[in-house]
DNA sequence: TTGAAAGCGCTAACAC
DNA sequence: GTGTTAGCGCTTTCAA
């Protein structure tokens, strides 16, 4: 493959009849320069279509302005909105975004992290939903975690999941449900979703009802998820309310329920969790607990900025949730 | 800010008692090396937790293994699935993904492109939906476009949009609709969506009906979109069928219609376009034209690979679409 | 089978 | 105001 010869600083210097230093100064607008020189250099740059080589600069400055994002997938209303928000906020702080979709595969997540680190990223925002917590996260690389406890010293941005779980469960209880079932990740998955379960269990216990949780992992294929929900209805035909830990599962559950002749909300009430914008457009009827997704993104970037600026003891942040009234629950 | 001193190749060399060259050779598995040496070097690397600096390597090799993605937003069922697919395919080809959400803002798109180019990316995949076609796209950087004609020499991966438009319109005609309205981008937006409109217009003309298109831009805020659709119903109360150029608009239209007391599909039939997985979960009732999104991603990466490998005359690819039977149309 | 030295493109002391 | 020079961490001729 032919290597295209790039216009470099030296070429600009030659054309403008100055030294590399001067061009560099013009480029970075540093130091004293005569207007005439600036002018000539700018002209030379234009003429040659000069574009500075970020790699070379990065090698020197040890700063890449790159932030890595590691999430299960971007193909999801919640993560999609979140990553779009992160990208936007990072952009405003003049960072570029390196995307890594781990597909909830621990091995892939590790590989991604390795690669991102090799790329000398300036920071990392993680929200992958698995247990892999490699010890190279123990570097002093600025890291922010979203909805997931990674390590003690890493700040977490999360919704008030316990409160969300309360809102959802209470809503179903208020609607008169007596047999409420919950869906969530397996207990060993270290995500803050577990707080939603905790709230559900506490409220059910207080109300004197049994708490039953069906476990569905993030990377469970869709058909398999449907099979699990079908089993739910087989094993618990008395179910009259379901608190799903995310809207996608809520949608799937409603599909399965309807296919079995259950009417929603007459025979079965369903409350979801997330309330992403995309979901609101396609499925506005869904009653759900809405997270402040855009705010999460903004806060996360802010916490990362703080760390990059050298601040230590960056505090975790919990954000409020609201119940969104639909017709399914 | 204190600069963390990184372990470098030289440190490994010192510890292993060999030269930098040797370590580099071990790293890249190149040249002849005695097993004993390899062993010692590997041990030293482990001991020091050595991680090669990709930036330094990139400066030399002029290859970053980075591919830029420029799309309007990742917060959308279609683009979300597409970018997730691209990221996955690129990952398999050992490329990392640099994300750029242009928000359909030409200025932001240009800035993104500049930044991506400065980062010395190895290739670019674009699907932004605006007219900005900067002439620095005329570099010999490998580029693939998705669903958008950028420049003659840049290969495009697109669905058979004309066929899709036919399928959708014909479906509505077959269902007995006589007043079918279409939504699409303004005519000057250079996207292949215009082929959907063309098909609609051709079929309407053949059937002897007038063709009416309401124009909605990608970046139109949601409330404004709703206002446009409300206007649609005001101006054309006789409408009995709508072919929306994407599922999100279809969803919005159905919301507006229902709010005005129209029953779908009894009073109004709606057919969308895209058929992304996420949409299928949340709104399975929607009749829509499904694009082969995952395949688009795979093909796009393949075309990019071809260009990176030095191949010229890379051909554009058109992919098939299918009508997905729902209950709304 | 291994090492010395030059250089990728840029920046920043330190001179003048 | 501007230039000289060294060096960021790595790879690769070329020589031994």
CATH number assigned to the domain comprising residue B25:
1.10.260.40
Verify that A274 and A314 share a domain, yes or no: no
Number of domains in chain B: 3
**How far is residue A210 CA from its own chain's centroid?**
33
Spatial CA neighbour of B76 closest among B53, B102, B56, B113: B102
User: Which two structure tokens, joined as six digits, stand for A60?
Assistant: 């020197």
For residue A326, tell me if it sits in a domain.
no
Verify that A219 and A230 share a domain, yes or no: yes
For residue B327, tell me if it sits in a domain.
no
CB of A135 within 8 Å of a chain B CB? The answer is: no
| Span A122-148, average pLDDT | 78
* pLDDT reported for residue B132: 58
Verify that A168 and A281 share a domain, yes or no: yes
Verify that A191 and A140 share a domain, yes or no: no
Verify that B188 and B279 share a domain, yes or no: yes
Interface of A with B in 34-63 (CB under 8 A): 49, 51-56, 58-59, 62
What is the Cα–Cα distance from A290 to A272, expressed in whole angstroms?
9
Q: Is A318 exposed, middle or buried (0-12, 13-18, 19+ CB in 10 A)?
A: middle
For residue B267, tell me if it sits in a domain.
yes
For residue B328, tell me if it sits in a domain.
no
Query: What are φ and ψ of residue A190, in 5° steps?
Result: -80, 70
Query: What are φ and ψ of residue B319, in 5° steps?
Result: -110, 150
* pLDDT reported for residue A41: 95
Where residue A137 falls among pLDDT bands split at 50, 70, 90? low
SS3 B69: strand
User: Which two structure tokens, joined as six digits, stand for A176?
Assistant: 């008169």
Contact assignment for B83 to A75 by CB distance below 8 Å: yes
Look over chain A and give the mean of its residue pLDDT values, rounded to a whole number: 92
How many residue contacts between A and B have a Cβ separation below 8 Å? 160
Verify that B300 and B203 share a domain, yes or no: no
Verify that A71 and A184 share a domain, yes or no: no
**How far is residue B88 CA from its own chain's centroid?**
13
Tens of pLDDT, residue by residue over B137-191, are: 667 789 999 998 888 889 999 999 999 999 999 999 999 999 999 999 999 887 8
Tens of pLDDT, residue by residue over A239-283, are: 999 999 999 999 999 999 999 999 999 999 999 999 999 999 999
For residue B329, tell me if it sits in a domain.
no
For residue A2, tell me if it sits in a domain.
no
Whole-model pTM over 0.95: no
Q: Which nucleotides of C are covered by protein (CB under 7 A)?
A: 1-5, 7-13
Q: Quick check: bond before A265 cis, omega within 30?
A: yes
SS3 B9: helix
- Per cent of chain A over pLDDT 90 is 76
For residue B325, tell me if it sits in a domain.
no
Residue B224's domain is classified under what CATH number? 3.40.50.2300
Interatomic CA–C1' length for residue A89 and nucleotide C9, angstroms: 30
Pick B282's closest partner by Cβ from A1, A282, A309: A282
Verify that A248 and A201 share a domain, yes or no: yes
Q: Which residue of B has its CA nearest to A95?
A: B115
Contact assignment for A84 to B73 by CB distance below 8 Å: yes
Spatial CA neighbour of A95 closest among A317, A314, A316, A297: A297
DSSP codes of every residue in B276-321: -HHHHHH-TT-EEEEE-HHHHHHHHHHHHHHHHTT--SPPPEEE-E
Tens of pLDDT, residue by residue over B281-328, are: 999 999 999 999 999 999 999 999 999 998 988 999 999 999 999 999
CB of A226 within 8 Å of a chain B CB? The answer is: no
What is the Cα–Cα distance from A94 to B272, expressed in whole angstroms?
37
For residue A136, tell me if it sits in a domain.
yes
Range of the domain at A25: 9-61
Verify that A131 and A76 share a domain, yes or no: yes
| B56: CB within 7 A of chain D nucleic strand | yes
Verify that B79 and B46 share a domain, yes or no: no
Residue position matching structure tokens 């560099």? A24
Interatomic CA–C1' length for residue B19 and nucleotide C4, angstroms: 9
* pLDDT reported for residue B2: 33
Pick B278's closest partner by Cβ from A77, A98, A112: A77
Tens of pLDDT, residue by residue over B228-258, are: 999 999 999 999 999 999 999 999 999 999 9
What is the Cα–Cα distance from B15 to B22, expressed in whole angstroms?
12
Asked if A182 and A211 touch (Cβ cutoff 8 Å), the reply is yes
* pLDDT reported for residue A316: 96
* pLDDT reported for residue B180: 98
Domain boundary pick from B61, B84, B100: B61
* pLDDT reported for residue A214: 98
Where residue A129 falls among pLDDT bands split at 50, 70, 90? low
Domain boundary pick from A40, A61, A82: A61
Distance (Å) from the C-alpha of residue A280 to the closest C-alpha of chain B?
10
């Amino acid at each position: 493959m032919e290597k295209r010869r790039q216009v470099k600083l030296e070429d600009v210097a030659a054309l403008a009849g100055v030294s590399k230093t001067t061009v560099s100064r013009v480029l970075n607008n540093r130091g004293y320069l005569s207007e005439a020189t600036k002018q000539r250099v700018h002209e030379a740059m234009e003429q040659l279509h000069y574009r500075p080589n970020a790699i070379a600069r990065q090698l020197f400055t040890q700063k890449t302005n790159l932030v890595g994002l590691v999430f299960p997938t971007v193909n999801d209303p919640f993560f999609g909105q979140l990553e779009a928000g992160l990208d936007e906020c990072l952009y405003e702080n003049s960072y570029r975004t390196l995307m890594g979709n781990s597909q909830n595969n621990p091995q892939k997540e590790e590989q991604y992290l390795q690669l991102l680190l090799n790329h000398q990223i300036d920071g990392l925002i993680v929200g992958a939903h698995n247990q892999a917590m490699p010890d190279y996260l123990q570097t002093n690389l600025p890291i922010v975690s979203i909805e997931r406890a990674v390590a003690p010293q890493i700040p977490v941005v999360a919704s008030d999941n316990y409160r969300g779980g309360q809102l959802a469960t209470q809503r179903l209880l208020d609607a008169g449900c007596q047999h409420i079932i919950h869906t969530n990740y397996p207990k060993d998955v270290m995500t803050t979703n577990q707080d939603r379960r905790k709230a559900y269990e506490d409220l059910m216990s207080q109300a004197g009802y049994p708490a039953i949780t069906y476990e569905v992992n993030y990377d469970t294929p869709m058909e398999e998820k449907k099979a699990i929900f079908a089993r739910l209805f087989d094993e618990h035909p008395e179910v009259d309310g379901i608190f799903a830990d995310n809207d996608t599962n809520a949608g799937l559950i409603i599909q399965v329920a309807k296919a079995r002749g259950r009417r929603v909300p007459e025979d079965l009430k369903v409350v979801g969790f997330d309330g992403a914008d995309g979901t609101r457009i396609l499925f506005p009827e869904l009653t759900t607990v809405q997270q402040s997704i855009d705010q999460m993104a903004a806060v996360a970037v802010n916490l990362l900025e703080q760390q990059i600026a050298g601040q230590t003891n960056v505090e975790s942040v919990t954000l409020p949730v609201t119940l969104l009234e639909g017709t399914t629950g």
